Structure 1
């Protein structure tokens, strides 16, 4: 006897047996009951969600001997012929192999004849997006004015490939992915009909692996029952389908929480040796990050909505305690972002290993309250600096990290020196945590000020001081350093005092002049931000510079000029006039660099 797969054996034969798709089922069932079908239907959706199955049920409901009725009887001769694929008036066409204009013309000629055995002639075109444009055009007039008692049903997984002229002539129903609960209920009904014992965790695992497709779920269940034992259990299901087990996820999460790169790499190697499905592993990992984040944020209040077994819920609670909420949120986002890239990469194993190593090192990239939390005991702090001005030859760290994450270094302006720090006060936060890049301004002559150099105030970014150390009223003897000012603003924000937001200080070109401070903004939006926070900026400058704020000049970027305007300006220069008059030269191209043509 020929073996039938579970998907074919338990294919729904009535609308009531269809899993999910309630809206589509209700619309077609009512049309059959009222005997008022549309001339054409377009059923679109992902694979294995019931498009062809519902089309056959609809064909049986229209041609049933007890029609019009909401459901086919499946007992009359008409229903049995359609179920066996032998009905003369119900034609199923494979769009992939009958996609030419000649096939469409032959179909159009066949449509003109009245039904021979049933009440309606039904044409079910599967994978209809494979039809050629000429074939679609040949059907346009037929779909708009079809003969009486003719119904077209187009089934496709790629509705975006349909011409708009075809879609406008059809009633379009979009099939949804089935939820995990709906798939699990369908699998349970099948297992009970088969008389097989099962574990709920195994059923949930197959439903999750099927990703909303009923046919995929039935095929996976058939495969697991064929290769597994008498009872469907979770461990056997994972082995048969090549899925990672809880033991492996435990090893991985413990390694990531401990920032153990070696163990993360070892786990990747074990995954590959076991033949684990990398795509589904990434999906499961993203699901674990989601559950861990929700548990970490809400505790046990979210457990009923997660619908997890008791042992898995206890395991997730234990794992959630090992991570901070920002770590879990960032890991969840990184895993989702990398999912498509890993599955489509020519080297998916290497891409997966890189993701796991990045997740292991993630806490070092997260913002922390104290910079010295990342510094080993006994090691010098990265943001500490000796009291007094720095040597002029020392490189200055710009205000933003480069693409690789390491700070960029540029030589400082020749006349700029780092301001000294108060004795006994901690250094200001690292510049990369304070604001964006501040490009060094051109060297300016130092102002001749009578008072000696005054150290700049700074506070520890990790601890809020009880009161601000009021600076001396005497002015500075050298231009202040913008990086130190950004760090000072960060400390002021931490202490809850008035200071401009750090995002308004990023990307500026800073020019300290004897008459004041000039800020060149790269965009007009940043000019609006600076003007909005001018009062806070001037107050912070006054506190930083010893009680007297320098004159503040915010320079907007010069509007870009067209090439014609640049060429007109360039051609008016006196030194070029002999070239134009004697040599007959002309300008072919002119570009703006540094604000000048």
Structure 2
């Protein structure tokens, strides 16, 4: 039997099952319940946040035998056919491979016919930004004066490529990234349904790595579970995802606090040797610097806002006093500035090592006591790089 991925197995079938996107779900559910449906909808947002899933659920809610209603029943023949992708009145079109003006004209010819089985003809156009300008122009008149009982749903990750004439004819909904906490709760619910034991420290990095995408989080979880075993552990997650563990960051910050170039260089080599995802490592580093800076400034009063476990909170509280606030602020800014350059560098490991050494030597590389307070002060990155290269300090 073919193995179904977790993303496919737990694809939501009702609005209530969709993680996040509360505003979009509320508006579309109410539209289906009151049978007040617009001619065209534009769903935009990053990958894996539920655009196509919600479009399918909306199509089911409109054509369900119990409609109008806020949710599809998922039991009637209409709902089952749409779920299986075999409903004659619901068409999913790939905008990348059906992007010519001839495809748009062929679509217009089918629009004029009344629904054959359901209440509405629904056209879901995925990756709609791939349509050509001529194809968009061919659809303009149809969207301006649509036939009765026809609904267009455009889904796109690049809404800036849409002609404004199309956007103005659609109800536009922007899908948001899910928060790390929301993804964490979703993954835990999936693991509970699967009956799998797991460590809290294993789920949190997967949610963080997914960067707001539900589909990415499910794929990463599937990838981690492929290792097998009776329990999902933090070590499994780190091995599969190329993550650095808490103990590595603790050693790194101890080296930064002590300006220990030997330790920092050794950890840089270890990161490269273990195949740690350097791009994600820099993101994690930036997040930890933020945590340290806020704890250094506000102390324990900041803990409820940082989402740390008890062990993590104790660890970062112990490390924060070893740095000056100015050092942490400059290091945080420098890391943010360096993120894109490190990932795109032909030698990312060397670029990361240079960044970490600069972070350790920041108190020597630039006059931290004079850094804040003046708009004319150079950026932390520019000043540190100039000093490291032997250039005189900028005024």
User: TM-score with structure 1 length normalisation?
Assistant: 0.62
- Secondary structure in 2 matching 1:212: coil
Equivalent in the alignment of 2:377: none
Cα distance change of structure 1 residues 307 and 228 upon mapping to structure 2, 3 Å threshold? farther
Contact map agreement 1:44 1:159 (CA 8 A) in 2: yes
Paired position in structure 1 for 2:248: 248
C-alpha contact 1:228 1:240 (8 A) present in aligned 2: no
Distance 1:403 1:328 in 2: 17
Q: CA deviation at 1:342?
A: 1.2
Deviations 1:381-417 (A, max 9, x none): xxxxxxxxxxxxxxxxxxxx99833576xxxxxxxxx
- Of structures 1 and 2, the one scoring higher in RCO (CA 8 A, sep 6+) is 2
Equivalent residue number for residue 391 of structure 1 = none
1:404 alignment partner, one of 356, 362, 386: 386
For the Cα contact (< 8 Å) 1:244–1:281, is it kept in 2? yes
| CA-CA distance at 1:106 after TM superposition | 0.5
State the 1:263 CA deviation. Answer: 2.2
| 1:28 corresponds to | 28
Superposed displacement of residue 349, structure 1: 1.7
2:223 paired with 1:237: no
Secondary structure of residue in 2 paired with 1:350? helix
Aligned partners of 2:293, 2:32: CA distance in 1, in Å?
A: 48
Query: Where does 1:286-305 land on structure 2 (aligned, <5 Å)?
Result: 286-305=286-305
Does the 8 Å contact 2:358/2:384 carry over to 1?
Answer: no
Kindly state the Cα deviation for residue 235 of structure 1 after the two structures are TM-superposed. 2.0
Contact 1:96/1:131 (CA < 8 Å) preserved in 2?
Answer: yes
Report how far residue 264 of structure 1 moved.
Answer: 1.7
Does residue 356 (structure 1) correspond to residue 362 (structure 2)? The answer is: no
Hey, what's the Cα distance between the residues in 2 that align with 1:182 and 1:228? 25
Partner of 1:198: 198
Q: For residues 102 and 366 of structure 1, do their structure 2 counterparts lie closer, same or farther at Cα, with a shift above 3 Å needed?
A: same
Q: CA deviation at 1:169?
A: 0.6
Q: Is the alpha carbon distance of 1:274 and 1:402 closer, same or farther for their aligned partners in structure 2, counting shifts above 3 Å? A: closer
Kindly state the Cα deviation for residue 247 of structure 1 after the two structures are TM-superposed: 2.0
| Residue aligned with 1:13, SS | coil
Matched, 1:48 2:48: yes
Superposed counterparts of 1:421-570, under 5 Å:
436=395
Give the Cα–Cα distance (whole angstroms) in 2 for the partners of residues 402 and 304 of structure 1.
Answer: 34
Structure-2-length-normalised TM-score:
0.93
SS at match of 1:92: strand
Contact 1:201 1:309 in 2 (8 A): no
Give the Å deviation of 1:369: 6.2
2:117 is the alignment partner of 1:117:
yes
Contact 2:326–2:368 (CA<8 Å) still a contact in 1? no
State the partner residue of 2:374: none
Tell me whether 1:176 sits opposite 2:176 in the alignment: yes
CA drift of 1:301 comes to 1.3
Q: Which residue of 2 aligns with 1:332?
A: 332
- Structure 1 residues 468-517: Cα deviation after superposition (integer angstroms, max 9, x where no partner): xxxxxxxxxxxxxxxxxxxxxxxxxxxxxxxxxxxxxxxxxxxxxxxxxx
Deviation at 1:251, TM superposition (A): 2.1
- How many residue pairs get aligned? The number is 381
Moved more, 332-341 or 42-51: 332-341
Q: CA deviation at 1:199?
A: 1.6
Q: Give 1:67's aligned residue.
A: 67
Q: How many Å apart are 1:327 and its aligned residue?
A: 0.7
Residue 94 (structure 2) pairs with residue 94 (structure 1): yes
1:197–1:232 CA contact under 8 A, matched in 2:
yes
Larger helix percent: 2
Q: Is the 8 A contact 2:100 2:131 kept in 1?
A: yes
Partner of 1:151: 151
Alignment partner, residue 279 of structure 1: 279
Separation in structure 2 between the aligned mates of residue 407 and residue 279 of structure 1, nearest angstrom: 29
Quick one: distance in 2 between partners of 1:247 and 1:181?
23
| Secondary structure of 1:122's aligned partner | strand
Q: How many angstroms does 1:110 deviate by?
A: 0.8
Query: For residues 402 and 35 of structure 1, do their structure 2 counterparts lie closer, same or farther at Cα, with a shift above 3 Å needed?
Result: closer
Alpha-carbon contact 1:7-1:219 (below 8 Å) kept: yes
Q: Is the 8 A contact 1:255 1:263 kept in 2?
A: yes
Q: Helix, strand or coil for the counterpart of 1:138? A: helix
1:159-170 paired onto structure 2 within 5 Å? 159-170=159-170
1:366 deviates by: 4.5
1:308 corresponds in structure 2 to: 308
Deviation at 1:224, TM superposition (A): 1.0
Matched, 1:85 2:67: no
For the pair shown, the structure with the greater C-alpha radius of gyration is 1
Per the alignment, residue 225 of structure 1 pairs with: 225
After superposition, the Cα gap between the structure-2 partners of 1:369 and 1:204, relative to the gap in structure 1 and judged at 3 Å, is closer
> Aligned residue for 1:373?
none
Gaps of at least 5 residues in structure 1 are 371-400, 409-431, 437-597
Deviating above 4 A after TM superposition, structure 1's stretches of 4 or more consecutive aligned residues are none
Separation in 1 of the partners of 2:361 and 2:367? 13
Contact 1:326-1:366 within 8 A present in 2 as well = no
SS in 1 for 2:57: helix
- Secondary structure of 1:404's match? helix
In 1, Cα distance between the equivalents of 2:300 and 2:391?
A: 42
Specify whether residues 369 and 131 from structure 1 end up closer, same or farther in structure 2 by C-alpha distance, changes over 3 A only.
closer
SS in 2 for 1:321: helix
Change (3 A) 1:361 1:87: same
**The residue matched to 1:221 in structure 2 has which SS?**
helix
| Separation (CA, whole Å) in 2 of partners of 1:402 and 1:82 | 59
The CA RMSD measured in Å over matched residues stands at 1.7
Aligned residues of 2:62 and 2:68 also touching (Cα < 8 A): yes
Structure 1 window deviating more from structure 2 (56-65 vs 313-322): it is: 313-322
